[in-house]
Every structure is written in C-alpha cells, then in structure tokens.
Amino acid sequence: MESGKNKNDGRIKFSRRVILGAFGLLAGRLWMLQGRQSQLYAEAADQQRFRLLSVPADRGVIYDCKRRLLVRNVPCFNVVITRADLPTDDVELRRVLERVSTLLSMPLSKADANGGECIEDALDRAKKVPLLEPVVLKRDIDQQTAFLIEQQQLSLPGISVQVQAKRQYLRGAAVSHLLGYVGPVPAEAVESYRQRGYADSDVVGLAGVEHSYEAILRGTNGAQHVEVDVTGRKVRVIGQPTEPVPGSNLVLTLDSELQDVAIKAVEKGMARKNSPAGVAIALDPRSGAILAMVSLPSYDNNVFTLGAKPEELAAIMADPSHPLVNRAIAGVYPPGSTFKMLTSSSALQEGVINADTKRVCTGVMYVTSDDGSQRYPFYCYNRAGHGAVNVVEAIRLSCDIFFYQVGGGFEDFKGLGQKRLAKYAHDYCLGEYTGVDLPGEVTGLIPDPTWKRLTKHQLWLTGDTYNCAIGQGDVLVTPLQMACMTMAVANGGTIYQPRLADYLIDSEGKETARFKPRVVRKVPIAPEHLALVREGMRLAVANGTATGLGIQEVQVAGKTGTAEFYGPRDAQGNLPTHAWFVCFAPYEAPEIVVVVMLEHSGEGAFYAVPVAADILRAYFGLKPVDG
C-alpha cells in the first residue's frame, strides 16, 4: 500500500512540474512579446494602420501660340489593388477577386484573357512592388462602377478606387503627332522610371511633346499620412499633408488655326490624285519655331487615354496606312528636284560654277562607260531641252542636264563629285538629326561610295552621282530636313533647331521661362551664292515650274520636285512619283518656310504647289481661292 501511495505522489509531483514548466514557458514568451519584442510588433501594426500615401500632382496643360487650350486634365476613376489588405485565406481571396472580375467585366485568369489584361496580371505586378503600394487593376472605369465598388468596400478588402486626372486632347487627330499621349509606365522601362522617382502605377508621356517635356509637365507629387481600417479604407489624415506641386503649363509655337488650314489643304491635295499620305510643315526661318506640322493619315490620341477598347487599339496598330507614324520626321523619301538647291549652292561655293557658267541641255546626254563598251542615256524631264542655261535659269526651269553635269561632270567639264556633294548635304542637316523636340526622328540617307560598297557590294559609278545631284538614286530625306535646308537658303545660311516649345506659364498665366532659338549649324555657303539660289527660286514661282502658286500679293520663292521611287510602272513605263514643293516668303524678308510632300501623287508643280498656296494665303491673311 505504502509503495503504491509513493508512486501516485511521484506522478502528481511530475505533473505539477510539467504544468509549472509550461506556465513558465508561456510567461517567458509573454514577456518576450510584451517586453523585448513589443516595439517590433507595434511598428508592424502601425505599418498596417498608418500609411504614407502619394498625392499625384496635376500635369501641366498645353496651349497653342495664342493660348488656345489643346490638352487638359479631367477626373477619372482607377481601381487599385493593395496586396497588404487582401484576404490571406485562399477561399476568401478567390471570392473577392471573382466579385471584382464581375464588376469590372475583366477576366480573372490569363487563360480567359486571350492576350488582354486580366486580374492575374495585376496580382503579378503587385508582387513586384512593396506590400503597401497600390497597383492599378483597371484605369478609367465609369462612375457607376466606381460607386458600386466603394459601396462594397467592406466586402472587398484590398480593392479600392482612386480618383486621378486623365488627359483629354481637345483637338484629337489634328495635332496628335505633335502632342503625343500619356500612359502607364512601359513594362520594359519600369526600373529606369523607378530610379527617377516614379511609382509603377504612374502615368508618363509616351509620345510627342508629352514625352519630350515629361519632366516639365509632370510636377511633383505630394504626400499624406493616413490611418486606415482593417479593409485598407482611409479613416483620417494624420498631421499636415505635403501639397503636390503641379507641372508647368506649356505654350507651343504651333498656330492651331494655321494647322487646321494645312490639314484641309493636304487632304484636298491628296484627294486630287488619291494619294495615300501627305505632309505639310510651316516654320519660321528666323527661329526654327514650328507653326504647323501635318502628317496624314493621323489618329485620335484620346484612344490611348480615354479608355479605348483593346480591339480599337489593335486596329490602329495594324492599320496598313501607319497612322501612328509622324511622316514629317519619320518618313523618308527621295527629295527629287528640291535637292537642286543643295547641288547649286555647293557647286558655287566650290568654284565648280559661277553665276555666268552655262551648260547646254538638249534633253538627253550620253555617258560612255569606263571601259568604253557602252553609252548610257541620261534624260532631262523636258526631252526638247532647255538650251544653254546658267544656274539661276537651271533652278527656275529645274533642268536635269545642268545638274547632272554640275554634280558629276561631263566630258571635259569637272563636276562637284559625290564626296563633296555628300559633305554639303550633311552641312545642310540631311542625313543628320535636326534636333526637333519630338521623339522618333530619323536621319534618312546620304549615300557615298563607301556606303554602296558595304551595303550593296557594288562600286560607285558616275551615274550614281548624277542621280544624287537631282535628289534621286539612294538619297532619302525627311520633310523636316528639307524644311531645315530651305530655312538656311532663306535666312542666309543658319539652321535653327526646329521646335514646338515656346515658353512656360504658371496657373495664373504668368510667363516663368522661355525657350530661346538655338542655332544647330551655320551652312558654309557664302551669302552671294545663296542669293543666286534664292533668285532662281523666286523666278521659279514668277515664271518657272511653280507659277501655279498664283499668289501676287506676296513675293514667294520656291522649288518644285517630282521624285521617282521604286514601284509599279505606268502604261508609258514611268516610275511612280512623290510630289514636293518647298518655298519661303516674303522673298526680301522671309518669315515663313513651307514644305509639302504628297506620296505617290505625281508632279510637284501640279499637286504640291496648290497645297502650299492655301497655307501661305491663310498665313498672310489673303483671300482663299476656291477649288
């Protein structure tokens, strides 16, 4: 009996020790939680309860030269996900996401999205940012849906609506190539933007001046400390918020009224010959200020900011007419006879010709091959010939034979040669960036013997130089480059950076900064040589190839161009052509340069000249001509 009692006492004592030990462990753990680690858990709780929210700054608006509003900010509703507030239970999380999918008519998984946006994509993005940072799930939802989500906030933890400004482009397709558009930070550029202080959900300029002047238009975001409840909903603001600083308002050199006239003129010109595309540029040769820049076909940039359907965006991207391309700066074309301004001024500067030098045009000249086995014909567009002409007459009449010989030589007459011709082309900003304050500019091509050998694996021939001298062969330029060359001829040799930005104003309309004209280069052509080129261009309008301009009130100087390009030949065996016309006015004191190019349209004198006439009449306030 005694031994059994001792055994029971031992068990009781052991149980007491176990219980006391367990209580000791619990007490120790409690001391750790409330004592040593209490600060850590308090900080973690505060991180969930108190948050620092970014307050987006209003983006600066954009005006034309007469302060007519071109783009403004309007409110929109974005649905965002905050990962820290999402349910941790998988079943509950699924319920929330399915409900959001229904409210937003948005696929839940990638399998159902058919390549479009889905909720799963937003969750993937959210995993790449801090736990408390909101990630946009869907932008620009309608007001009714936004209210529904707000009303169901308690049953949709982690899902909220943010009110943000979106861009509204008041002129749409009329200036879309110039203004561009804004959008979410591109996925491939996220890291780059993060390093510059952007959040992944920020909206940035992606094209046009919206992109070029992003830093100026953007502004500086503010911040506020807030307390949130268990669903992540804001309860109150803590302390004094840091107010956002709005972006600067940008005033452009663009005249929207002249832009409208230019659009109608190009559309009319394209319709005359069913041209697929056209460009018109008007700029001030005294500063490089762009007054109008038209590229057709165009697109409505609002589709990128006002919630266009995926199929609408896909249609724009797949359009074979490439409406997103600004052909004024990114379209490259042979310049045809407008290039003769360069050939003539370069030959004068190099002493190849002078004001009195004459060459005889019989309508065709024959060139013997280097081995003497063949003779190749080079024709003037006027097969009857122009007779003996000097440089001024050659420009007036656009004589091909004269420029063949001046560029490449003929018999005993030594021409300029391709090396010098290419050098002056680059001096005139051909084959170079003009520096225009728009993204997407291309350089075109000024060929030379090295380029041909490396690219085509062929030797350079005299015939190549002949073709280049009249703006044919492999020469490719942008319409803006031709505007820069015309600018230099008009103003005596200075090429200014073409620009759209004029000055900045604050919210009260006070000017805060101005963009000054910037000289890109001085063309190394003597003033007296440029004067001869200008005289030839004046005569071309007065009684030469551009008499169809029909403006008597203002003296205009210009040069036509009909540029062949490779394509199906017509019934007479002729290659298709682009129509060009470049001009400036007034002749004695130029204040406007106009360049017109119509794709696949025919002769510049017939199709491009009337377009420039409409633009010049509007600029000088002259009575328009019907038809």
Whether residue 265 sits in one domain with residue 238? no
Query: What is the rounded average pLDDT of the residues 544-556?
Result: 96
Comparing 38-47, 226-235, 565-574, the range with the smallest average pLDDT is 38-47
pLDDT above 50 for 110: yes
Closest by Cα among 606, 598, 593, 611 to 276: 598
How far is residue 241's CA from residue 263's CA, in Å, rounded to a whole number? 47
Whether residue 281 sits in one domain with residue 222? no
Write down which residue in 211, 228, 252 finishes a domain.
252
Label the pairing between strands 50-55 and 511-514: unpaired
Q: Residue 114's domain spans which residues?
A: 51-89+98-252
pLDDT tens digits, one per residue of 409-438: 999 999 999 999 999 999 999 999 999 999
Whether residue 505 sits in one domain with residue 409? yes
CATH code for the domain in which residue 286 is found: 3.40.710.10
Within-domain flag for 431: yes
Residue predicted with more confidence, 23 or 340: 340
pLDDT tens digits, one per residue of 123-164: 888 888 777 778 888 888 888 999 999 888 888 988 989 888
Write down which residue in 209, 225, 252 finishes a domain.
252
pLDDT band at 625 (very low <50, low <70, confident <90, very high): confident
**pTM, full prediction:** 0.85
Within-domain flag for 626: no
Tell whether the torsion through CA atoms of 105, 106, 112 and 117 is positive or negative.
positive
How far is residue 98's CA from residue 100's CA, in Å, rounded to a whole number? 5
Question: How much is the pLDDT for 124?
Answer: 87
pLDDT above 50 for 174: yes
Within-domain flag for 5: no
Query: What is the rounded average pLDDT of the residues 569-586?
Result: 93
How far is residue 346's CA from residue 352's CA, in Å, rounded to a whole number? 9
pLDDT above 60 for 589: yes
Whether residue 261 sits in one domain with residue 167? no
Q: How many CB atoms lie within 10 A of CB 563?
A: 24
Whether residue 267 sits in one domain with residue 239? no
Within-domain flag for 20: no
Write down which residue in 252, 282, 302 finishes a domain.
252
Whether residue 280 sits in one domain with residue 248? no
Query: Total structural domains in the chain?
Result: 2
Whether residue 508 sits in one domain with residue 414? yes
CATH code for the domain in which residue 225 is found: 3.90.1310.10
Within-domain flag for 162: yes
Question: How much is the pLDDT for 306?
Answer: 66
Question: How much is the pLDDT for 37?
Answer: 52
Question: How much is the pLDDT for 40?
Answer: 47
Closest by Cα among 255, 282, 280 to 267: 280
